[in-house]
Amino acid sequence: MTTTLVLGGARSGKSAYAEKLAVQSRREVLYLATASAGDAEMGARIAQHRSERPQHWSTVEEPLHLASALQRHGTEDNLILVDCLTLWLSNLLFYGGAGPDVGVITLPPLFIEQRAALLDALHKAPGDVVLVSNEVGMGIVPMGAMTRCFADEAGRLNQAVAAVCERVVFVAAGLPLTLKA
């Protein structure tokens, strides 16, 4: 079992690189999608991603309970490609309606529970797992408590997942840079 975290900025090529790893594995691939089409633009993004993937890959959509999906669908013979952790983070942080964008943000209990469950599931995954996540902390500090909370939690999530994974790759301009092998 190998776990790999693929990080990068928006449109950096991280998803394409993760999909390349999945193809090269020569394993049965299950694409675990975390996105939800909340509007037409996101629906178009999802459709575009779907059209670019090999048709024989299975797809499971799970916007919240990622750990249980990994446990349910992981086998010794397959590779699960999770795309992406930052959308999953958004889903959890805004589950049940976003809080005010002022003051101290209290993390939802569902987020705390699911984050811990994901880290535990990665330790127990029977097959290979490739996770895609945005690196959002390389720019300016965002305005607003909620966006700062998101950037902070994305950074903490990426650090925790990277600590558990055997491999970590950063992608910029379509070029992979191995951070941990």
Active-site residue numbers?
49
Give Rg (Cα) of the chain.
16
DSSP 140: P
**Other C-beta atoms within 10 Å of 170: how many?**
19
Residue environment code for 12-50, b if the CB has 16+ CB neighbours within 10 A, otherwise e: bbbbebbbebbeebebebbbbbbbeeeeeeeeeeeeebe
**Contact in structure between 1 and 126 (CB atoms under 8 Å):** yes
